[in-house]
Structure formats: C-alpha cells, structure tokens
C-alpha cells in the first residue's frame, strides 16, 4: 500500500513537471510568434513611412517653384506700379509707356507658364509610387493571409493531436518561410525606392529648369521693356541705322510677335540659300 502511495505521488509529480514544461513551451512558442509578427508589422509600417517620406520630399521640392512664382509676381506688380507712377510725370512718359507697356507679361500668362512646369512634374510622380505600393501590399497580404493562416493551421493540427506532429517545428517552418519572403520583398522594395528617388530627382530638376526659363523670360521682358521706355523718353528709341544696309528684308506683322513665347515665326523658312544678312521690318 505504501509503495502504491509513493508511486502515485511520483506519477503526479512527473505529470505536473511535464505539464509545466508543456506550458513553458507553449509560452515560448507564443512569444516567438508575437516577436516575429511584430517584426513583420514594423516592416509594413516602415514601407509606409518611406512612401510618405518620398511624397513629402517631392511635394516640398515642387512647392519651391510656387514660392518663386509668388516672388516673381510681386516683382511684376511692383514694376507695373512704377510704370503707372512714371506716366504721371509727363505726357512724354505716358506716351512712351503706352507705346511699350503691352510687352509687359500678364499675371495670368506668368501663372500659366510656371503652372505648366509644376503640373507636368505632378502628373509624372504618381507612376513612381505604383511598383512600391504593390510590393508593400504584396507582403501585407502575405502576412495577413498566408502567415496568419498557416499559424492557425499549426494550432488546429495541435488541437487535433495528430500523431508525430510537432507544433513548435510547424511554427518555426512558418516563420522561416515568412522571414525569407520579407527579405526578398525588402530587397525589391529598396531597389524600387532608389529607382523612384532617382526618377523623382530628374522630374524635380526638369520642373526647376522649366520654371527658371519661364522666370528668366519674364525678367528679360520686363528689363527690355523698361529700357525701351527709358530710351523713348529720351527720344532715342528709334535711332536710324547708319552705315548698314541689307537687301534681304522680312516684314514681320506686329500681331505675330509674342513676348511670352520662346518660339515665333521663322523668317528663314522657305529660303534655299544662305543669306549674308536679314533685316526684320516690324509692320
């Protein structure tokens, strides 16, 4: 009887130890799953952060063009005010101002010129995000469906008490597959991100160059117009050309002149020979 009693106590202690070990293993497995799940979620969040960062940097770079445009518009407005004040000084000033001030670029024209630069840059940018977003979503889908689903399958098979089934090994295999997937996915995402940044820098440079040309054109027009008006007030804006004659004359209609455009009518079009000179006569 005593032997049976001791054997029962020993058996209960052994079972208790086994249960403690089993509970400890379950806790370790749960912690293992949670740690890796947290790592995968952080990866998705890191992708989102990098996408947002790329968007913000691009938007900030393009916004500098709008800031430059505001300064330019203020300069044009100030030039127009100075011109108005000049007209009040004398009749000659008023006549000269009216003669040339139409060459001043209009505010709406300036806005359109520069807005075209930013619009083109904005239209091109979204296409850079497509492959990045797809790569990010691909892993998010894998995590939410494949990873979580396979973890559930391991738990279900453990509950079913399948013969020779090892729950810990099942979980390890699932995590191993997910880790391999995220490493490959991350390499793809980083490559696409570097490519997108390179293209974004190119688009930004194109927009800035476009804006610079537009701003330079406007400033040149204002400067040239002011010079013409100043020469007019001194009665030297139409000085005769002395000591030079050209037999080739091209009559350019006034309405064909566009001070806001980089391209105009080509006076050489249709000539099949090289001209030594060409005089443009504005009519």
3-state helix, strand, coil in the chain (%, to 5): 80, 5, 20
Tokens, residue 183: 């490493």
87 lies in the same domain as 194: yes
125 lies in the same domain as 256: no
14 lies in the same domain as 49: yes
Tell me if 4 is assigned to some domain: no
27 lies in the same domain as 149: yes
The pLDDT tens digits of the residues spanning 37-80 come to 888 889 999 999 999 999 999 999 998 988 888 888 888 888 88
CB-neighbour burial class of residue 58 (10 A; exposed 0-12, middle 13-18, buried 19+): buried
The pLDDT tens digits of the residues spanning 82-100 come to 878 877 788 877 888 888 7
133 lies in the same domain as 229: yes
Ramachandran bin of 260, using left for φ above 0, alpha for ψ from -120 to 50, beta for the remaining angles = alpha
Tell me if 144 is assigned to some domain: yes
99 lies in the same domain as 161: yes
Our measurement of the distance from residue 142's CA atom to the centroid of its chain's CA atoms, rounded to an integer in Å, reads 28
219 lies in the same domain as 256: no
100 lies in the same domain as 215: yes
Contact 139, 187 (CB under 8 A): no
Domain that holds residue 264: 246-282
Number of domains in the chain: 2
Tell me if 268 is assigned to some domain: yes
Tell me if 119 is assigned to some domain: yes
173 lies in the same domain as 257: no
Tell me if 1 is assigned to some domain: no
Tell me if 5 is assigned to some domain: no
The pLDDT tens digits of the residues spanning 225-273 come to 888 888 888 877 665 555 556 767 777 777 777 766 777 777 777 676 7
- Any residues with CB less than 8 A from the CB of 118 and at least 6 apart, and which? 62, 65, 66, 207, 211
**Cα–Cα distance measured from residue 240 to residue 71, given in angstroms and rounded to the nearest whole number:** 39
**Location of structure tokens 């453990």:** 158
The pLDDT assigned to 230 comes to: 82
Tell me if 72 is assigned to some domain: yes
Q: What is the pTM of this model?
A: 0.66
107 lies in the same domain as 32: yes
The pLDDT tens digits of the residues spanning 177-209 come to 989 999 999 999 999 999 999 999 999 999 998
49 lies in the same domain as 108: yes
260 lies in the same domain as 138: no
């Amino acid at each position: 009887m005593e032997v049976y009693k001791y054997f029962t106590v020993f058996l209960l202690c052994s079972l208790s130890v086994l249960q403690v070990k089993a509970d400890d293993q379950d806790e370790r497995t749960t912690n293992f799953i949670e740690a890796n799940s947290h790592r995968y979620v952080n990866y998705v969040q890191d992708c989102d952060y990098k996408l947002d960062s790329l968007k913000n940097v691009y938007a900030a770079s393009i916004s500098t063009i709008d800031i430059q445009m505001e300064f330019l518009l203020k300069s044009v407005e100030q030039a127009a005010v100075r011109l108005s004040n000049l007209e009040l000084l004398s009749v000659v000033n008023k006549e000269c101002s009216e003669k040339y001030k139409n060459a001043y670029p209009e505010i709406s024209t300036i806005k359109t010129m520069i807005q075209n630069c930013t619009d083109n840059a904005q239209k091109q940018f979204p296409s850079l995000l497509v492959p990045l977003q797809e790569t990010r979503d691909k892993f998010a889908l894998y995590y939410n469906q494949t990873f979580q689903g396979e973890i559930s399958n391991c738990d279900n098979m453990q509950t079913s008490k399948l013969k020779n089934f090892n729950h810990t090994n099942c979980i390890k295999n699932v995590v191993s597959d997910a880790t391999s997937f995220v490493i490959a996915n991350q390499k793809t995402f980083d490559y696409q991100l570097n490519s997108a940044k390179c293209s974004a820098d190119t688009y930004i440079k194109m927009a800035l160059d476009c804006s610079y040309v537009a701003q330079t054109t406007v400033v040149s027009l204002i400067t040239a117009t002011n010079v013409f008006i100043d020469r007019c007030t001194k009665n030297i804006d139409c000085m005769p050309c002395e000591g030079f004659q050209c037999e080739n004359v091209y009559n350019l209609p006034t309405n064909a002149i566009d001070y806001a455009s980089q391209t105009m009518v080509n006076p050489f079009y249709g000539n099949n020979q090289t001209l030594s000179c060409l005089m443009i006569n504005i009519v």
